[in-house]
């Protein structure tokens, strides 16, 4: 397990530190970790535990991110670590997102330059920071992204958007395209099902869009939780007003996983019904996934 100096923090009292990377702004006591499980206070300084230690790497079609309107038909070199700053009960990738690094784990170290060279070796056009939440390994992603641009590669974030604006202002300008994972369009859903805040996510999406970057949105549809016509229409209202009808929208099927298994798998007919509503509302691009 590597200890790499973290960014986006300030010192507190009695050697505590305040992390400013995500809206939780964890106050972390000496020897303890933040909510994400991958940022630790060592003697009054904050360190990343996942810099240089990817837990997953793969060369993917870019459509798997999913990005359907950015470099279509190309390969993307995907990399992720451990940890997440949300607590989604229905997490579809909990083996990475809900696992913390431990001393006994055996990881091979990959520098940012190593990742760029691998992407070039596999003839990828871009690097995606994905699988788990890339915000929690932002130091690693930022340094890789800079080198990727120097090598002529594009950078992609597949993210929940739960980030502070001050951190986003240093990270997002390096990112060329992103797919933001919208969990559900209500504060109650984010609070009870994700332990997060919708308002913070919407703010970061608007900021990314303001940079003129390529943006697509994905909504995992959970029957009985975030699939009501009222919530879908409220979501579409917000997108139309703040982002425009040209932003590609993805709706994906939920499958019971992790700590939430009381809802059935999303019926394909429900996704098709939502897609019809999206088209009726005048949006240009709608895509269905996991069916």
Predicted model pTM: 0.96
For residue 105, the model assigns a pLDDT of 84
For residue 19, the model assigns a pLDDT of 98
> Within the chain, which residue ranges are assigned CATH 3.20.20.70?
56-289
For residue 183, the model assigns a pLDDT of 96
Collapse the DSSP code of 33 into the 3-class scheme (helix H, G, I; strand E, B; otherwise coil) and give the result: strand
Q: Is the peptide bond before 27 cis (omega within 30 degrees of 0)?
A: no
- CB-based contact 81:32 (threshold 8 Å): no
Q: How many Å apart are CA 262 and CA 210, to the nearest integer?
A: 38
For residue 15, the model assigns a pLDDT of 97
For residue 147, the model assigns a pLDDT of 98
47 backbone dihedrals φ, ψ, rounded to 5°: -130, 145
Opening angle at CA 35, ends 167 and 105, nearest 5: 105
Opening angle at CA 177, ends 171 and 178, nearest 5: 80
Cα torsion at 77, 82, 86, 89 (round to 10°)? 100
Give the sign of the dihedral formed by CA 152, CA 158, CA 161, CA 164.
negative
Tell the residue number behind the tokens 């594009």, with chain if given: 154
For residue 102, the model assigns a pLDDT of 87
Q: Is the CATH number of domain 56-289 3.20.20.70?
A: yes
Which residues in 115-150 are b (16+ Cβ under 10 Å) and which e?
Answer: bbebbeeeebbbbbbbbbbbbbbbbbbbbbbebbee
10-residue mean pLDDT series, the chain (291 residues) = 93 97 98 98 98 96 98 98 97 90 87 98 98 98 98 98 98 98 97 98 98 98 96 98 98 93 95 98 97 85
For residue 2, the model assigns a pLDDT of 82
Class of residue 218 by CB neighbours under 10 A (exposed 0-12, middle 13-18, buried 19+): buried
Which residues in 166-192 are b (16+ Cβ under 10 Å) and which e?
Answer: ebbeebbebbbbbbbbbbbbbeebbee
- CB-based contact 31:41 (threshold 8 Å): yes
């Amino acid at each position: 397990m590597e200890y790499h100096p973290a960014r986006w923090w300030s010192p507190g009292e009695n050697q505590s530190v305040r992390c400013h990377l995500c809206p939780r702004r964890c106050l972390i006591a000496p020897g303890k970790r933040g909510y994400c499980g991958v940022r630790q206070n060592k003697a009054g300084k904050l360190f990343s535990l996942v810099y240089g230690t990817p837990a997953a790497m793969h060369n993917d079609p870019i459509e798997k991110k999913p990005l359907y309107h950015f470099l279509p038909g190309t390969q993307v070199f995907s990399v992720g670590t451990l940890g997440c700053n949300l607590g989604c009960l229905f997490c579809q990738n909990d083996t990475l997102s809900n696992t913390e690094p431990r001393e006994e784990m055996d990881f091979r170290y990959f520098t940012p330059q190593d990742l760029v060279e691998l992407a070039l070796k596999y003839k990828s056009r871009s690097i995606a920071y994905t699988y788990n939440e890339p915000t929690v390994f932002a130091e690693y992603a930022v340094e890789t992204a800079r080198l990727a641009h120097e090598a002529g590669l594009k950078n992609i974030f597949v993210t929940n958007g739960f980030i502070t604006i001050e951190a986003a202002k240093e990270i997002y300008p390096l990112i060329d395209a992103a797919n933001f994972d919208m969990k559900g369009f209500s504060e109650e859903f984010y609070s009870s099902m994700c332990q997060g805040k919708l308002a913070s996510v919407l703010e970061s999406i608007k900021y990314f869009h303001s940079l003129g970057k390529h943006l697509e949105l994905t909504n995992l549809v959970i029957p009985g939780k975030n699939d009501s016509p009222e919530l879908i229409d409220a979501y579409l209202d917000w997108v139309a007003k703040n982002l425009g009808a040209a932003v590609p929208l993805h709706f994906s099927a939920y499958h019971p996983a992790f700590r939430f298994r009381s809802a059935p798998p999303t019926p394909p007919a429900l996704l098709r019904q939502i897609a019809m509503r999206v088209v009726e509302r005048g949006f240009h691009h709608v895509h269905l996934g996991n069916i």
